[in-house]
């Protein structure tokens, strides 16, 4: 039992990875749609490449989208609209029109009873069908349904007077009644008392149209079991294409039997598990530092699950919106935290997984892989907002261009391309702009660091660097010089220059605890080491590394920056005090007391910092430097580090080390170049 527990403890990292793999596979497969799958690829306008296909069962042939749209359009055109007649308004006008008259108008009626009767009869005639609001002129109804007191009447549409029709109608009535001499007064009375009382019943009309839409048959004709659908070599078009799409729809809409369901789930599990296993093996082979960090592996798998679930959610709502999902946010995010190669590989694995369930899987996978490649190639220096906007525009244009070209082949006509997808690509591009707040959230949740955070940390006005400048000004100046040298060296060999600059700025913060014990901070020739033994002095010097780690953790510096503090001296010795101790003692000196505990650098960036730190610090001891002296000096320091095996764990080559030497020599020659003597 004890041995079992010991083995579990020793292999807990591998066990966690397999658990994460199994959990991810389970969650993805659990949410996969589990309808039947059509095993043939349908490409319009291309020959049928498989054997003769016969109907495996009876199924209905679906109407095309154009046919369904035409039927809906016909329903809308032939629909007789419903208008609501407000009886209360009509009665109110009839009963109260005399109360609204002015004094002069009332006098007209009293002196002319014929006029009063005419007005009353005309109002009755107007409200026989009522007055409606003027429409937009696009309606060409011949008849309409008029709803009065819950009774429906069929009336000619032109009999519903509009406000615009009212004046000609009233003038005609006035002239027929031989009351032309009172025309202006009568028109004024009518316009004062008449009110609109008929309106289009939007809710009822929509219900009626929807009811008719629901009665539409989406199929036309049936294919009986055993009938030949298409022969090998036939072109997929017209009725053949419609039958194939109908058969595919029938397969996908069928619910599987329990035995078939288990088989389908098993197949999905194998394929998804194999895909994610390939990702793990890739990381183990080419990114062992990431593979050994369970937090980073969890972060990668979380991103895959997030985008798979988001795509499946959109897929469950409507297949048409599949391109709205900003899938390229995955390589963008992983490139920001790790590197482009891992970002692209992870993106391709995710696309392969989604290709199992999305419609038109080849088209989808083609577009997403092309977009992912463009994302990796175009997005650089994500912390610059302009770069992100430019890259998003490029990615969106590539989506549109590739989709357009792909569908020209597929449809054989520009007119048949679904241009709505262009809008979805634009929305997907807008979604990519949320990568910056997403990266910030990931940094807080997973404790990772991106270029955005590195840029903030590189600000020399930050609180910690200001403290370093005040407490240990010599160390701060040394750190700035090392940062400049290291950044130039990193650019020369293609390392992460921003990361190494930040690491260089903070690598010596441990010297803030005892700044006076370090020569760059001593303003006089008197050294506090004169009062200490070489062993005690070496202990203070060596401890600045541990004290720097403690300060960095208290100030919440990222682990990748702490790595520079931890490794910038590797396992080298404090040679000055070691030699001094050997001079004072006749017995053999314990070298461990004068050696840094390590670890040695494990990346290009940490290795570069070690070289630059040692060269910059030792260069202060050069007297009357010249080009040959500087070249020999750089060669001597870095070769000594190589001999002491300080770079064996770092993925840095001899060629790259030679390039770094060249840069350091050039920079130091520029710093220490001879100046002309100015006259007194």
Tell me the residue ranges of DSSP E strands in 544-609. Answer: none
Residues 191 and 314 in one domain: no
pLDDT band of residue 623 (cuts 50, 70, 90) is confident
> Of residues 648 and 139, which shows the higher confidence score?
648
> What number of other Cβ atoms are within 10 A of residue 204's Cβ?
15
Strand-pair partners of 143: 156
65 occurs within a structural domain: no
Q: How many CA atoms lie within 13 A of 169 on its CB side?
A: 18
Helix (H) or strand (E) holding 88, with range, is: helix 87-96
Most confident region among 3-12, 581-590, 634-643 by mean pLDDT: 634-643
Across the range 394-408, mean pLDDT stands at 86
Residues 265 and 305 in one domain: yes
Q: How many CA atoms lie within 13 A of 579 on its CB side?
A: 3
**Tell me, what CATH number does 636's domain have?**
1.10.3210
What gap in Å lies between CA 200 and CA 215, rounded to an integer?
24
Report the chain's mean pLDDT, rounded to a whole number: 84
Across the range 635-643, mean pLDDT stands at 91
What gap in Å lies between CA 178 and CA 557, rounded to an integer?
98
> Is there a contact between 571 and 538 (Cβ–Cβ < 8 Å)?
no
Residues 394 and 521 in one domain: no
Q: Is the pLDDT of residue 587 over 60?
A: no
Residues 401 and 464 in one domain: no
pLDDT band of residue 676 (cuts 50, 70, 90) is very low
Residues 156 and 277 in one domain: no
Q: Please tell me the predicted confidence (pLDDT) of residue 136.
A: 54
Residues 203 and 316 in one domain: no
Q: Is the pLDDT of residue 39 over 80?
A: no
Distance of CA 442 to the CA centre of its chain: 13
Residues 459 and 427 in one domain: no
Tell me the residue ranges of DSSP E strands in 6-120. Answer: 53-54, 59-62, 82-85
Q: Please tell me the predicted confidence (pLDDT) of residue 258.
A: 61
Length of the chain: 680
Q: Is the pLDDT of residue 609 over 90?
A: yes
Residues 442 and 457 in one domain: no
What gap in Å lies between CA 643 and CA 634, rounded to an integer?
14
Tell me the three-class secondary structure of 194-258, residue by residue: CCCCEEECHHHHHHHHHHHHHCCCCEEEEECCCCEEECCCCECCHHHHHHHHHHHHHHHHCCCCH
143 occurs within a structural domain: yes
219 occurs within a structural domain: no
Q: Please tell me the predicted confidence (pLDDT) of residue 420.
A: 80
Q: Mind giving me the DSSP string for 354-391? A: HTTTSSSHHHHHHHHHHHHHHHHHH---TTSHHHHHHH
Q: Please tell me the predicted confidence (pLDDT) of residue 36.
A: 58
Residues 420 and 482 in one domain: no
pLDDT band of residue 326 (cuts 50, 70, 90) is very high
Across the range 130-149, mean pLDDT stands at 78
Q: Please tell me the predicted confidence (pLDDT) of residue 309.
A: 94
316 occurs within a structural domain: yes
In which domain, by residue range, is 85 found? Answer: 75-212
What gap in Å lies between CA 325 and CA 308, rounded to an integer?
10
Q: Mind giving me the DSSP string for 124-183? A: HHHTTT-EE----S----SEEEEEETTEEEEEEGGGSEEHHHHHHHHHHHHHHTT-GGGH
415 occurs within a structural domain: yes
Last residue of a domain, which of 420, 446, 472? 446
pLDDT band of residue 594 (cuts 50, 70, 90) is confident
pLDDT band of residue 586 (cuts 50, 70, 90) is low
pLDDT digits (tens, 9 = 90+) for 160-174: 888 788 888 888 888
List the structure tokens of 57.
């069962």
Provide the domain count of the chain: 3
What gap in Å lies between CA 527 and CA 544, rounded to an integer?
17
Q: Is the pLDDT of residue 416 over 90?
A: no
Q: Is the pLDDT of residue 25 over 90?
A: yes
List the structure tokens of 486.
């290291």
Residues 299 and 326 in one domain: yes
231 occurs within a structural domain: no
What gap in Å lies between CA 453 and CA 440, rounded to an integer?
8
pLDDT band of residue 108 (cuts 50, 70, 90) is confident
pLDDT digits (tens, 9 = 90+) for 453-473: 888 888 888 899 999 999 999
Residues 486 and 558 in one domain: yes
Last residue of a domain, which of 446, 474, 503? 446
For the chain, percent helix, then strand, then coil, each to nearest 5?
A: 65, 5, 25
What gap in Å lies between CA 276 and CA 29, rounded to an integer?
12
List the structure tokens of 569.
């001296």
> What number of other Cβ atoms are within 10 A of residue 293's Cβ?
16
> Of residues 135 and 539, which shows the higher confidence score?
539
Q: Is the pLDDT of residue 337 over 60?
A: yes
Across the range 351-364, mean pLDDT stands at 88
Last residue of a domain, which of 416, 446, 476? 446
What gap in Å lies between CA 8 and CA 14, rounded to an integer?
9
pLDDT digits (tens, 9 = 90+) for 235-288: 877 778 788 787 777 776 665 556 667 887 888 899 999 999 999 999 999 888
Across the range 402-417, mean pLDDT stands at 75
pLDDT digits (tens, 9 = 90+) for 111-125: 777 888 888 888 888
pLDDT band of residue 381 (cuts 50, 70, 90) is low
Q: Is the pLDDT of residue 506 over 90?
A: yes
> Is there a contact between 635 and 650 (Cβ–Cβ < 8 Å)?
no
Q: Is the pLDDT of residue 179 over 90?
A: no
589 occurs within a structural domain: yes
189 occurs within a structural domain: yes
Residues 276 and 407 in one domain: yes
């Amino acid at each position: 039992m004890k041995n079992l527990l010991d083995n579990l403890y020793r292999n807990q990292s591998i066990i966690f990875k397999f658990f994460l793999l199994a959990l991810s596979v389970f969650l993805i497969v659990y949410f996969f749609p589990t309808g039947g799958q059509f095993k043939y690829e349908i490409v319009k306008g291309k020959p049928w490449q498989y054997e003769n296909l016969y109907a495996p069962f009876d199924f209905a042939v679906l109407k095309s989208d154009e046919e369904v749209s035409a039927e809906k359009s016909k329903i809308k055109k032939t629909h007789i609209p419903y208008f609501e007649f407000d009886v209360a308004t009509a009665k109110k006008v009839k009963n109260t029109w005399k109360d609204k008259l002015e004094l002069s108008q009332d006098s007209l009626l009293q002196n002319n009873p014929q006029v009063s009767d005419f007005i009353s009869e005309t109002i009755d005639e107007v409200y026989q069908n009522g007055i409606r609001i003027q429409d937009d002129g696009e309606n060409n109804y011949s008849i309409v349904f008029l709803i009065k007191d819950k009774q429906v009447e069929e009336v000619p549409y032109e009999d519903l007077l509009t406000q615009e029709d009212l004046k000609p109608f009233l003038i005609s009535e006035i002239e027929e009644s031989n009351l032309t001499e009172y025309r202006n007064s009568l028109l004024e009375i009518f316009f004062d008392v008449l009110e609109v009382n008929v309106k289009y019943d939007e809710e009822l009309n929509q219900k009626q149209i929807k009811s008719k839409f629901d009665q539409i048959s989406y199929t036309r004709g049936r294919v009986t079991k055993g009938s030949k659908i298409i022969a090998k070599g036939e072109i997929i078009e017209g009725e053949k294409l419609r039958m194939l799409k109908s058969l595919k729809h029938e397969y996908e809409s069928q619910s599987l039997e329990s035995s078939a369901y288990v088989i389908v789930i098993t197949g999905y599990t194998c394929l998804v598990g194999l895909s994610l296993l390939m990702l793990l093996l890739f990381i183990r082979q080419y990114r062992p530092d990431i593979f050994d960090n369970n937090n980073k592996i969890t972060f990668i798998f979380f991103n895959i699950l997030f985008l798979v679930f988001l795509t499946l959610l959109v897929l469950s709502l409507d297949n048409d919106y599949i391109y709205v999902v900003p899938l390229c946010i995955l390589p963008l995010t992983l490139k920001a935290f790790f590197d482009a190669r891992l970002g692209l590989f992870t993106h391709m694995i995710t696309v392969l997984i989604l290709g199992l369930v999305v419609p038109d899987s080849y088209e989808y996978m083609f577009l997403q892989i092309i977009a992912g490649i463009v994302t990796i190639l175009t997005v650089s220096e994500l912390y610059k907002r302009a770069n992100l906007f430019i890259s998003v525009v490029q990615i969106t244009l590539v989506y549109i261009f590739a989709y357009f070209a792909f569908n020209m082949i597929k449809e054989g006509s520009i007119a048949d391309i679904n241009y709505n997808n262009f809008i979805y690509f634009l929305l997907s591009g807008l979604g990519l702009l949320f990568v910056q707040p997403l990266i910030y959230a990931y940094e807080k949740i997973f404790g990772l660091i991106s270029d955005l955070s590195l840029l903030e940390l590189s600000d020399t006005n930050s609180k910690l660097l200001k403290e370093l400048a005040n407490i240990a000004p010599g160390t701060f100046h040394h750190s700035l010089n090392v940062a400049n040298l290291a950044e130039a060296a990193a650019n020369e060999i293609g390392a992460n220059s921003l990361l190494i600059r930040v690491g260089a700025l903070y690598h010596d913060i441990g010297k803030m605890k005892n700044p006076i014990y370090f020569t760059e901070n001593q303003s006089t020739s008197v050294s506090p080491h004169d009062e200490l033994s070489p062993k005690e002095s070496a202990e203070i010097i060596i401890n600045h590394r541990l004290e720097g780690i403690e300060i960095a953790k208290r100030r919440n510096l990222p682990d990748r920056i702490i790595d520079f503090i931890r490794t910038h001296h590797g396992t080298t010795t404090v040679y000055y005090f070691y030699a001094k101790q050997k001079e004072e003692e006749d017995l053999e000196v314990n070298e461990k007391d004068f050696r840094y505990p390590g670890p040695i650098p494990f990346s290009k960036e940490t290795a570069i910092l070690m070289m630059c730190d040692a060269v910059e610090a030792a260069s202060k001891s050069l007297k009357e430097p010249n080009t040959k002296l500087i070249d020999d000096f750089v060669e001597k320091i870095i070769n000594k580090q190589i001999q002491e095996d300080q770079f064996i764990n770092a993925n840095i080559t001899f060629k790259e080390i030679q390039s770094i030497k060249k840069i350091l020599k050039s920079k130091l020659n520029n710093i220490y170049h001879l100046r002309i003597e100015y006259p007194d």
